[in-house]
Structure 1
């Protein structure tokens, strides 16, 4: 079996689309189709079921996939081991979320840009469930999570830091200055938040479900902060994302303690052999994110 054919098979099996696999690999779609047929012919089995415009793996394809991934990882490890270049090189697909990309990762991204220019970081904006699924499928090399749970099926994960949250309001909001706020005290407040699926948004909504306050969705953190500053409601956000506004007085932290704790984590597929440049990324993420965290 040619490694090139197994690489193409793994990509098609991951995205379940010949068209998308061709685009990702830089091939014509006919070339991808031909490579899969060559692999099926050499093995004497069908690897995909064609269901109209959709495809899915056959039982034989399911059995082959982990071997294809392992052989691809071994090939990458071998290339790294014998490479003559002194500098680390390669591409890293990183799953992340807006709050981490904007407020936790700039130092890490800047460090790699200047120190390791041959390492190409591709940031993929996704939230928890989607990030975990992409890691299990091998679409992402590593992924940043912000979750209350630190164990994830099929993944290795490392806690980088707890992520403090702040319930914020505009300076003229009626809840500003009140002490010992409870969830019931927030029942009459209008809530401003990012999209569903965001971990702190979902946990906050679940905590207040008994009182069912309405949520005004702004999508992004920056839009959410502007809406809160304009007096449209209150929002629960990572403290690192509102640090500048709290310092300037544009936003005020309310006296309410979230009954849950989130942890910023870095994860990758369990059993995956990380190439040298990916291991370097993990090491520097561990160092830089921890250094800038409140407990770092």
Structure 2
């Protein structure tokens, strides 16, 4: 009987960290290891997997098909490992109440999975999540109604911490091309909205006329308006419905867009252990995204 090969957990963590960061040199700094030690770990992982996991791509490395498959499994293995460690170290007894606000973009993508992981590891912690516009979420933190909130842009709060940035993209129906003889039909939230501000800045810079074709307080309303062919909108590429397209500025005749900041707002009240733990997981999930 051939015994199965156990994959080293530390090696898997190095693997996932390096892929997420886009550089194993950065992974060495993050994990406090030397580059040569990281290289030895990666060779060990290929030996345990019995497959070539990396291939040369320019000056760096890219995942092979086998590497891409292992990456998906590795993330799941590490998540289960970390949940088990939390339960066994007594953190499952953590109690409290967490009130968090976040944009609709994340509520429909990676946040439910994060919430599920946290609930399984800390069943005695009650989490209340509020999905709303950034300006309302920032005000909720300021009033003490929320412990944490994520917003696109600082929303006037200079104390908010920028924890990541994302590319802003135009989104519309496949084949959309701007009619240069007509104002661009823009679909967006009303002000204040960081995406709307980014659109107007880019359009004004390129001297492109525009008109507000549709406004909605919900992201679903924006997607519905774009689906109906009423115009184009802009967000990040995360969570774009499969029937809509990220538009190439060079083909669609739209101006290029930059990046948008993702800000974390914290209540002035001293954080409980539960809030601090959830915040750490939240920042980690944002970095992985």
Checking the alignment, whether the CA contact within 8 Å between 2:165 and 2:259 is kept in structure 1 is: yes
Aligned to 2:247: 253
Shift in CA distance, 261/96, structure 1 to aligned 2, threshold 3 Å = same
Kindly indicate whether residue 171 of structure 2 is the aligned counterpart of residue 168 of structure 1.
yes
Choose the corresponding residue for 1:266, options 258, 264, 267: 264
Instruction: Note the C-alpha offset of 1:195.
Output: 4.2
Shift in CA distance, 86/234, structure 1 to aligned 2, threshold 3 Å = closer
Shift in CA distance, 218/121, structure 1 to aligned 2, threshold 3 Å = same
1:164 and 1:186 map into 2 onto residues whose CA distance is 28
Kindly indicate whether residue 108 of structure 2 is the aligned counterpart of residue 98 of structure 1.
no
Which secondary structure state, in structure 2, belongs to the residue aligned with residue 174 of structure 1?
A: coil
Kindly indicate whether residue 132 of structure 2 is the aligned counterpart of residue 135 of structure 1.
no
Which secondary structure state, in structure 2, belongs to the residue aligned with residue 108 of structure 1?
A: helix
Tell me whether 190-199 or 111-120 shows the greater mean CA deviation.
190-199
TM-score normalised over the length of structure 1: 0.56
1:121 and 1:217 map into 2 onto residues whose CA distance is 31
RMSD in angstroms over aligned alpha carbons? 3.0
Instruction: Note the C-alpha offset of 1:122.
Output: 0.9
1:104 and 1:199 map into 2 onto residues whose CA distance is 21
Checking the alignment, whether the CA contact within 8 Å between 1:107 and 1:288 is kept in structure 2 is: no
Shift in CA distance, 214/138, structure 1 to aligned 2, threshold 3 Å = closer
Checking the alignment, whether the CA contact within 8 Å between 1:168 and 1:235 is kept in structure 2 is: yes
Which secondary structure state, in structure 1, belongs to the residue aligned with residue 174 of structure 2?
A: coil
Checking the alignment, whether the CA contact within 8 Å between 2:92 and 2:124 is kept in structure 1 is: no
Instruction: Note the C-alpha offset of 1:289.
Output: 1.8
1:152 and 1:190 map into 2 onto residues whose CA distance is 31
Tell me whether 165-174 or 278-287 shows the greater mean CA deviation.
165-174
**Matched positions, count:** 193
Which secondary structure state, in structure 2, belongs to the residue aligned with residue 194 of structure 1?
A: coil
TM-score normalised over the length of structure 2: 0.57
Kindly indicate whether residue 157 of structure 2 is the aligned counterpart of residue 152 of structure 1.
yes
1:216 and 1:150 map into 2 onto residues whose CA distance is 22
